[in-house]
Amino acid sequence: MNPSIPPAGLPADAVRIEAATGSGAGGHLVAYSAFEPYELADYLEALSRLLPDVAITVWRMPTSSLTAFLLSDPEGDLVLGWADTAAQSPGIAARIAPPAAGGCDADGFYRPTGFSLAFVADPALLQARGAETPTRWSDLAAPALRQALLFPDPRRSGAGYLALTTILQYYGPEDGWRLMVEIDRNVIDYPGSAWEPAARVGQNGAALGITVRVAARRRLSDNPALIQALPQDAIGAEAEVYGVLAGSTQQALARRALDWVMSDEAADLFRHHAKLLLRGERDPALFPINPERASRERPAVLQRFDALMRLRAVRAPKSEATP
């Protein structure tokens, strides 16, 4: 595989992460990830210090695109961060190398980190609407927030599927879908990533974005006028996975990169990006979703979400209808 040429079948929404990496004298690894580009750049820089002779090319894409791409059995070496629920999709197990020593789980994946949900809010816009800062999922249905929310698309975004799954698993399917229908009336748009809802808060009437803590921390550092709020009734959380591709011809080298993922140095960097560290004590305030159930129910959940989007399109004025 020529690392300078994009892999065959690479999704159109994949982007190459431009960051410091090793010289390549000792080898070249190709990795795929659903993490945000800014955090991946930090991880690549750290890996370049650990493996100065190993060049690593990372292609970032949304969770749904990565799922479909891996099922096509692409060339490459590593999964460098992905949602646990997506990793349990039928057919994925055959694409991952068998377990090895060093913290690997029985399915071949490493799970040292996790991600959790958060709200990013613009206090000035909320005040102008006469709205309180939401601290529960049910608060997102308040009439004062009509056309003020951004919700990541659960069909594409791991954060979006975690948010929808949290609502359904915490409230139960019947009450959860009833609440989601009410929340949808307040949603401006469903972007395809966790970063975009955070990035667009404060613009064009967007008073609040549903996102993850990683993106919330980055957005607040860019704009200190914004605030983070947590859905205290159910702060949905999910493990993240890392693994070696079964088809890799450089599995030993790939596992050297994953040794860093399990290291104390990596833990410090993950903590900097507001990730959950799953090898220590768990935060009792979190609501860990059931990943097996979430993966099993994904087709039915997304089918019902598609139906909600069709109703939304019918309800909206022609100029505002969701594509």
Tokens encoding 263 = 């290291």
Helix (H, G, I), strand (E, B), or coil: what is residue 169? helix
Question: What predicted TM-score, i.e. pTM, was given to this entire model?
Answer: 0.93
DSSP category for residue 133? P
Both tokens assigned to 137: 């999922």
Give CA–CA dist 122/21, Å, rounded.
Answer: 37
The secondary element (H helix, E strand) that includes residue 82 is strand 78-83
What does the pLDDT read at residue 189? 95
- Are 28 and 55 within 8 A, CB to CB? yes
**Chain centroid to CA 289: how far?**
14
Give dist(CA 106, CA 99) in Å, integer.
6
Residues 212, 158 contacting (CB under 8 angstroms): no
List residues bridging with 150 in a β-sheet: 189, 209
- Amino acid making up residue 137: W
Give the pLDDT confidence score for residue 237 in this predicted structure.
97
CB of 80 closer than 8 Å to CB of 33: yes
Compute the radius of gyration of the chain from its Cα atoms.
20
Asked whether 30 and 123 are in contact (CB, 8 A), the reply is no
pLDDT digits over 20-43, tens only?
899 999 999 999 999 999 999 999
Domains and CATH numbers, the chain: 15-114+238-277 (3.40.190.10), 115-236+283-320 (3.40.190.10)
Concatenate the DSSP letters of all residues of 258-275 into one string: HHHHTSHHHHHHHHHTT-
Give start and end residues of each alpha helix (H) in 60-172: 63-71, 84-87, 123-129, 158-171
Spatial distance between the Cα atoms of 237 and 115, rounded to a whole number of angstroms: 6
Mean of the per-residue pLDDT values for the chain? 94
Q: For residue range 266-305, what is the model confidence (pLDDT) as tens digits?
A: 999 999 999 999 987 678 889 999 999 999 999 999 999 9
Measure the CA–CA gap between 260 and 70, rounded to whole angstroms. Answer: 23
Residues of the chain with pLDDT below 50 are 319-323
Count of Cβ atoms closer than 10 Å to residue 86 Cβ: 23
CA 8 – CA 228 distance, rounded (Å): 40
Report pLDDT for 322.
45
